[in-house]
Amino acid sequence: MDKSKIVTIIAAVLGLIGVFFLVRIIMAGDEAIETDAALQGSIVDPMITFSTLLLYAAAIITLVFSVVNLVKHPESLKKTLITFGIFVGLFLIAYFTAGDDLATNAQGKAVEIKDMSDKILTGDAAHALTKKVTGLINFTGILGLIGLLTIGWGFVKSLGK
């Protein structure tokens, strides 16, 4: 059996498992699931677990095959490292140019910043988190601008042909 048939069979089995979970949820109904915690745990939780496992498997397989491909093709590894270095440089620029001023409401008072355990952050911790978030927002903006410029350049280039 060739590889494409094996992949097709695996995809079909995973799809059928997903359909099975979906049918169980549809048969139970929205209202029953929303009102009965035990029913929700027995029907929805397995689907969430299955989806999470599929996500992890896809991420691991992607990383493994990417690394194997980079090792097999050293010229591609060089280009990847250069591109990664550019991304790191852009992120560092975005981070170090980001401000650490706390967000304020309409009255000018600093907005409360909570961590994942709902603990209110103050002082240096709040400023550090604000700087990280602002840096990531700036980085996203830089990448978006580069994307738009690339699309524009491709459009202009295609007009010249």
pLDDT in tens, the chain (161 residues): 788 888 889 889 988 998 888 888 888 777 767 777 777 777 778 888 889 999 999 999 999 998 898 888 888 888 888 999 999 999 999 999 987 777 777 777 777 777 677 777 677 777 777 888 889 999 999 999 999 999 999 999 998 87
In a 13 Å sphere around the CA of 94, the CA atoms on its Cβ side amount to 20
CA 20 to each of CA 6, 14, 28, 43: distance values in angstroms, whole numbers, following the listed order: 21, 10, 13, 11
What pLDDT was estimated at residue 27? 80
Residue 114: count of CB within 10 angstroms of its CB: 11
Alpha-carbon gap, residue 33 to 43, rounded angstroms: 8
What pLDDT was estimated at residue 148? 96
Six-digit token pair at 147? 């994307």
Residues 6+ apart with CB under 8 A from 135: 91, 94, 95, 96, 98
Contact indicator for 113, 130 with CB cutoff of 8 Å: yes
3-class secondary structure, 2: coil
What pLDDT was estimated at residue 153? 94
What pLDDT was estimated at residue 82? 92
Cut 0.75: pTM above it: no
Taking alpha carbons only, the member of 139, 140, 110 closest to residue 126 is 110
What pLDDT was estimated at residue 136? 93
Six-digit token pair at 126? 């709040």
What pLDDT was estimated at residue 92? 94
